[in-house]
């Protein structure tokens, strides 16, 4: 490879490094804007907005894209997060409580909550990407998230598995991966989401 070609910004190596850097930036932005906790919904929506653009090679300035979505969806995403966070706490509390029971009824209720938690995670997987890509009320977003998660169960499982594996690698194997993990997750999910959302005409050009 000639030196002039190597230093060309359109070189595949530089484009790859540029995407890696953007993923790191997205990770930092998501962590910083999620620190107040109640803003996690808005920061996750912004993460997917910028991440899906990155996955589609439509990225401009990830910081600008991130904060554009953060401001635009702040109110609805924050309200949605409060609802989902409350529901998540309820499910975790009940799972912990009924896990201690060894009787037949207690075991049945425990497994019922396991199933409900699985559906909750599936809905959570699509809720904020949907907020990032379509205009709709909270009730409709949740219904769409459930419908899409169930109808595309294979992609849904892959997205959940990807998130789990990246976090596990970062926490238990290689801590530096965490610097990239959130942005990389949004990028990989973005690739999948464009395939899934295209069926329902949710993809914005």
Residues 53-81 pLDDT 10s: 988 876 568 899 999 999 999 999 999 99
Residues 44 and 74: beta-carbon distance below 8 Å:
no
Q: Residue for token digits 């909550």?
A: 113
Mean pLDDT of the chain: 87
Q: Could you list the beta-strand ranges (E) of the chain.
A: none
Nearest Cα neighbor of 184 from 204, 167, 205 is 167
pLDDT at 85: 96
Sign of CA dihedral 157, 162, 168, 171: negative
Q: What is the average per-residue pLDDT within 163-179?
A: 85
pLDDT at 134: 86
pLDDT at 58: 65
Residues 52 and 194: beta-carbon distance below 8 Å:
yes
pLDDT at 81: 96
Q: What is the average per-residue pLDDT within 124-137?
A: 92
DSSP string, 2-34: -HHHHT-TTSHHHHHHHHHHHHHHHHHHHHHHH
Nearest Cα neighbor of 141 from 188, 190, 200 is 200
**Structure tokens that stand for 145 in this block:** 């998230």
pLDDT at 77: 96
pLDDT at 205: 46
- Percent of the chain exceeding pLDDT 90 equals 60
Q: Residue for token digits 């490879």?
A: 1
């Amino acid at each position: 490879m000639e030196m002039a070609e190597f230093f060309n910004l359109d070189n595949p190596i530089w484009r790859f490094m540029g995407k890696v850097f953007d993923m790191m930036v997205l990770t930092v932005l998501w962590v910083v804007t999620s620190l107040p906790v109640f803003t996690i919904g808005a920061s996750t929506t912004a993460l997917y907005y910028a991440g899906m653009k990155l996955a589609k090679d439509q990225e401009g300035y990830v910081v600008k894209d991130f904060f554009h979505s953060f401001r635009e969806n702040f109110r609805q995403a924050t309200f949605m997060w409060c609802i989902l966070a409350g529901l998540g706490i309820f499910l975790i509390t009940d799972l912990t409580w009924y896990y201690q029971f060894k009787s037949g009824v207690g075991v049945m209720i425990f497994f019922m909550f396991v199933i409900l938690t699985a559906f909750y995670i599936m809905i959570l997987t699509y809720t904020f990407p949907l907020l990032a890509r379509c205009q709709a009320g909270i009730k409709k977003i949740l219904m769409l998230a459930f419908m899409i998660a169930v109808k595309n169960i294979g992609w849904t499982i892959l997205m959940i598995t990807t998130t789990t594996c990246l976090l596990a690698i970062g926490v238990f194997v290689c801590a530096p991966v965490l610097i990239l993990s959130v942005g990389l997750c949004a990028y990989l999910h973005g690739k999948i989401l464009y395939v899934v959302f295209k069926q329902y005409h949710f993809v914005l050009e």
